Amino acid sequence: MKFTQSINAVNDFAAKTLDPLQSLVALAFRLWVARVFFVSGLTKIQSWTTTLVLFEHEYNVPLLPPALAAYLGTAAELVLPVFIALGLLSRYTVAALFVFNIIAAISYPDISAAGIKDHWVWGVMLLALFVYGPGKLSIDTLLKK
């Protein structure tokens, strides 16, 4: 019985110590993923002709014509990260970016192993945000109050 009490005491201490950090970790995840996708969107609009050529010949987005995929993908990369960074409509935007991340990873046939690993990391961060929410440092939390 003493062993279980000791384990419970350690767990309680860890929870009390680490729980305040949850919102900071959620914020870090939100900002990290938002930056990655937003910068990608900025790159696409810097050379729109190149972007259209890439979607026409390089990316294999399923079910969509290349030009429409380019417009929708770029819009998603520019709009969704802003909402995620702010913590606004978080679970919806995180879910949308999670799906977008999967499509991006499977649409590019020449993606490297490191690129796949990056998409996995971003996917896990997005999944954690979807499951646990955006944290207290978000507009969603402010709107609840």
Of the pLDDT bands very low, low, confident and very high (cuts 50, 70, 90), residue 133 is very high
Percentage with pLDDT > 90 across the chain: 80
Check if the beta carbon of residue 134 is closer than 8 Å to that of residue 128: no
Please report the pLDDT score of residue 131 as a whole number.
97
Mean pLDDT of the residues in the chain: 94
For residue 119, pLDDT beyond 90:
yes
The mean pLDDT of 71-76, rounded to a whole number, is 96
What DSSP letter does each residue of 86-117 carry, written as one string? HTSSHHHHHHHHHHHHHHHHHH-TT--HHHHH
Check if the beta carbon of residue 138 is closer than 8 Å to that of residue 88: yes
Give the H/E segment covering residue 58. Answer: none
Of the pLDDT bands very low, low, confident and very high (cuts 50, 70, 90), residue 1 is low
Condensed to tens digits (0 to 9), the pLDDT of residues 74-93 reads: 999 999 999 999 999 999 99
Separation between Cα atoms, residue 128 and residue 98, nearest integer Å: 11
Tokens of 14: 């860890």
Please report the pLDDT score of residue 105 as a whole number.
92
Separation between Cα atoms, residue 140 and residue 145, nearest integer Å: 9
Check if the beta carbon of residue 75 is closer than 8 Å to that of residue 65: no
The mean pLDDT of 105-128, rounded to a whole number, is 94
Separation between Cα atoms, residue 112 and residue 121, nearest integer Å: 14
For residue 51, pLDDT beyond 70:
yes
Please report the pLDDT score of residue 2 as a whole number.
87
Separation between Cα atoms, residue 69 and residue 6, nearest integer Å: 56
DSSP conformation class of 61: -
